[in-house]
Amino acid sequence: MAVAAPLFDAQVVLPRGLYPAPLVGIHRWFAAEFGHYLVADPPPFFRGLVWLDLAFLWPVCVANLYGILARRPWSAATSIMAGVYVLTYMSAIFGEMLGSGRTTPKLIQLYVPFALAAFCVVSAHAQHRLLLLHLMPQLLGRKGSRSDAIRWERQPSVMVLAPNCLLVTLKMVGP
């Protein structure tokens, strides 16, 4: 993302004349090869997402790349920020692609790894104790106790599909 956002994603919102012909050619090849109708003829909401990519995700990814390579402790925070953003971005993209009927299986297969990687990053860095102590009693519909939290903490990872179809991770991989 640190490289792709300014070189490829930005071609959706910036004039193509700013880019060398080989980069424009790769961008057009990508849109044709994967049947990426959002890139080929971007609707306004997609342009907005790309502007968000450039304004928020790109700087976070550059900082995250530096943080990981330099082994900075704050890289966990930038990883979570990028992961949450990508999950939000992917929900909008998947909603459009699945709802439009214009998507190809190849295009879905392109985006699924991004969504899974973002979910894994967010899950791996989340603090499960807060969820266990505060969310679990609410999901059980009763007042929870410290012993309930300890009992749940000792269980293997548990995923609950809440009634509103929000995937809530009750116990996640350690930090």
Q: Is the pLDDT of residue 89 over 80?
A: yes
Determine if the pTM surpasses 0.85: no
Q: Is the pLDDT of residue 17 over 70?
A: yes
Q: Is the pLDDT of residue 3 over 50?
A: yes
Mean pLDDT, range 107-122, rounded to an integer: 85
Question: Which residues, 6 or more positions from 162, have their beta carbon under 8 angstroms from its beta carbon?
Answer: 139, 168
Mean pLDDT, range 47-71, rounded to an integer: 92
The enclosing H or E element of 12 equals none
As beta bridge partners, residue 168 has 160
Residues written for the chain:
175
Task: Answer yes or no: are the C-beta atoms of 157 and 172 closer than 8 Å.
Answer: yes
Task: Answer yes or no: are the C-beta atoms of 9 and 17 closer than 8 Å.
Answer: no
Residue with the bigger pLDDT between 124 and 67: it is: 67
Q: Is the pLDDT of residue 29 over 70?
A: yes
Q: Which residue, among 34, 23, 1, has the nearest Cα to 108 in the 3D structure?
A: 34
3-state secondary structure 118-139: HHHHHHHHCCHHHHHHHCHHHH
Give the chain's mean pLDDT: 76
Q: Taking the alpha carbons of 36, 40, 44, 49 in that order, is the dihedral positive or negative?
A: positive
Most confident of 54-58, 119-123, 160-164: 54-58
pLDDT over 70 percentage in the chain = 70
pLDDT score for 157? 37
Q: Is the pLDDT of residue 167 over 60?
A: no
Residue with the bigger pLDDT between 95 and 143: it is: 95
